[in-house]
Structure 1
Amino acid sequence: MTAPRASIGALSSAEFLPQRVSLLYRLSGNDVPAILLTSAIAAFALWGYISDKLLAAWLIWLVLASLVRFVLKRAYRLRQPGPEAAARWEGFFCLASAFVGTAWGVTVMLLYPEHGQFHEILLPFLIGSVAMGLPPALAPSPKSFACLIVPIFTPLIGLLFTQGGAFNTSAGILILVFSAVLLALYLSSNRALIETLRFGRENERLLEQVKEAKDRLDLALQAANILIWDWDARRTNVFLGGNWAIILRVGKETSALNLDELAQMVHPDDLPKVKQALDNCLNGGESEYVAEHRVKTLAGGWVWSLSRGRVVERDAGGRALRVTGVNVDIDDRKRAEVELLAAVQREKELSEMKSKFVSTASHEFRTPLATMLSSAELLEHYSESLSPAEKANLLQTIQGGAKRMSEMIDDVLTLGRAESGVLKLNLGPANLRELCSTVVSEFRIAQGKQHVITLDDRFDRPDVIMDERLLRHILNNLLSNAVKYSPPGSEVTFSVSRRNEQAAIEIQDRGIGIPLEDQPRMFESFHRASNVENRPGTGLGLAIVKKAVELHGGEISLTSAVGSGTRFTVMIPLRPVKQPAGVS
């Protein structure tokens, strides 16, 4: 029994010391108004029945004791000491309590009457004065309680037993009994306080554990992009858990939204299927509610979310009362799906392009190869019977076929270099007006009287900084197409001018035109309009032209109508030409 009691005493003296000292100073002085009021009433009632000196000393002592407690409380509040200073401040309070208790004990010894009939009155007000408010006020500190009570009661008890007599002995025994009762009250208050502090500490620990668990859950939900929601049909709002504002980017963090507000967050195109999936779950048609939909962000954009939930409570009639579930941010997955579909589509287009290229190339190579082969066989077997003019014509046929095949191979290689980024822009000074005039003259000679090619030169710069090789390729290809797809005798207009520091080149024909459905894809590799019929071509020319124009930082566009012709417009920015030294 001794060891447990010792451990309990050590525990009560050290456990929660900072909290107990803080309570000791906070409670100190709270009962002063009640003590002073009660003492004033008691003094008035006892006036004339006890010694005036004793009564005055009692009142003075109460005032001084209350003042000391008030000063201690004020000092503690001003200093606001930390937990490490708790023991020192408890010592201060013990010294003050010992001083107050000793002062009253000495006063009682000096003023206690030797004779008189008022002894029976003296004891009650002594007992009342000591008992008033002591257990609650001093409950946080056993040391302070002992420092106050021992100096008060010890001299009085010793004095009573020393004087002897039945009355004094009975009074001493009565005070001892009262001391025991007072000690029991104090121990009860002290145990209640310690238990309260223990419960408080346990609650704080549990609260901290709950907070840590919630933080871990929030981190896990955030890491997994999972949101929690709980809808109770008996309430109007849907509880939202998780970082909705961060994950779905819906603006300010919120804990509850009503159904109308949630419906406004769902994309209008997705809302019907969301309502249908939710109704199927609520009515029992489906065990689980699952819906993928877009959620509106504060900026007005949309993010994809997967919503999944179950009915967890129904009433006696089967009506759903509570539904709980989660939302998962699948915006990245949806973007990946779109990118994957685009890649699959691109792969499909590449496969079609490859097939088209093989088909086109085989056709385009087969025709000149067949012509070259037949011409070579005629020269091999009938050379002696052919006239020089016929032999020259056959040789020209072979040369023309070889040239055509060479040009097609060059187109394929040029497009390949452009697609892989190998095709480079070699800028240098060039005379655009002279280059346009030369290209038009060459086409006039080659076409003879089959087409009328008109040059409208309104360009006002002598030199430009461009890649002359790529520029010639652009002009040759566009003029070649204009001639190829125009009927004999029609006019082709070639115009060049300057518009806002850009070179504007336009080529207008009066040919077959391009169908509207083909126009968006005319600059794709191997794509040809649906109305070209049996005209030769690979579908590479315009793709190469577009790459060459883009390398110059320019743009190419077309306007066309079937049966009315086509106009291609090329806009190339003009770079400043460096002037030789000394030329202004």
Structure 2
Amino acid sequence: MLRTEALQSASNGIIITDALKYDNPVIYFNAAFQQLTGYTDTEILNHNCRFLHGKDRNQTALISLKKSIKKGESCQATLRNYKKDGTLFWNDLYIFPITNDKGTVTNFIGIQNDVTLRKKAEAERHHLTKILDESLNEIYVFDVKTLKFLNANFGAQKNIGYTLEELKSMTPIDIIPNTNKSEFRKTIDVLLKKNVEKIEFESEHQRKDGTKYPVEIHLQLSNLNEKDIFIAIILDITERKNYTTKLENKVEERTQQLKKALNKEKELNNLKTRFLSLVSHEFKTPLSGILTSSLLISKYPLTKHQEKRDFHLKTIMDKVYFLNNIINDFLSVEKLETSKENYQITHFQLSDIINEVIYNAEILLKDGQQIKAPNNIDEISLYQDEKIIQSIIFNLLHNAIKYSSEDSIVELCINQGIEFTTVKIKDNGIGIPEKDQENIFDRYFRAKNVINIQGTGIGLNISKNHIENLGGSISFKSEEHVGSTFTIIIPNKANQ
């Protein structure tokens, strides 16, 4: 009776199992065990203790425990156990066998000690230690009296070049060149007198390979296992010390930028000269055509001459349309040059602008030419500048028509992915000579095989600048006398 009362009053959880029965069931438990685990009498008695393990039964410590019980030996193991409500607790378990007069193990006594708080503290210390060890800054711990290093994190070992074992035989004086023990003692004396909690100062460290680098040292006094220590956090300030060099490099960079700006200004002047030459040619030809057609119309006043009048009216419309496009191109160039282009980003259906582009392009078709339009694009929408996207697609489609022969097909293909929409314009026209392809997007550049065809050499340059400003790209594949395929990749959402 006295023994039972003693077991019940114990603060540790205690259980007794019957080793002679199958599965070694629990036949006794004290109040502390039940209070800790939360299980009822019927859930504990006549059951093996494995109910405490829940589903966590692959613990390494359980293997040793099972072996000891099988051999009838004492054992100590720290296990992850689970209360009835599922809460994890760490159980420091001691198992003792009880034998009869014949030496047969009849029972096992288990003494249970909840060490959850200790485990949590260990985990926190381990986590903190890991953070310090993985820090890119150098962290050193050294003894107050001997000044010898006691520890150094990985960042310190990596930067200074010494292993921890090598550092343990060294002091800060060994890695700070041009200093001595008395000078260093004088520096840290204010901490020992506890005049301040920490000190900060700049110095220089020397690596194992002899290289030196500037550092900022944060030093404070601490205590470890009743032993006074110094903790030093070291910042490599090479970049800060190189500020002057960086500034000089910045000045040089700005100088180069000014030179580039000057070269760009020279290039712009050259472009202006080419522009004036282009205008004088490209405007003179269509204006002459308009004047001639206007004069000829007046010579056909009769109803029977309607077909001839229509011919000359179409000529006038074509020339006016061409001139209008040139003016629009020049305005776009000016806006792009002066960064005045303000994109108007809205949601729109791509099919709307494709229908508009094809409608406008049909009046440009040569005899027998056809546009093969894409199918199933009604659900495709973009968040882009609608007018700019329409202008780019029309420009490419117009080029395909212009540089293709009669009775040819110009194909327009569209495919939308998760992030981008791809538009391809394919023709079987005259193509671009291989040696001209690298310059095809240059402003005012025209390939050698289109010199006698009306054009400004501006459209592709404008299209490329616009699509790149909107986060997209333009590319092409072309073979002379075979045809060209231009591909524009448009972000579904503008890069604005």
**Higher Cα radius of gyration:** 1
The interval holding the TM-score normalised by the smaller chain is 0.3 to 0.5
* TM-score (norm: length of structure 1): 0.39
* TM-score (norm: length of structure 2): 0.45
**Greater percentage in strand:** 2
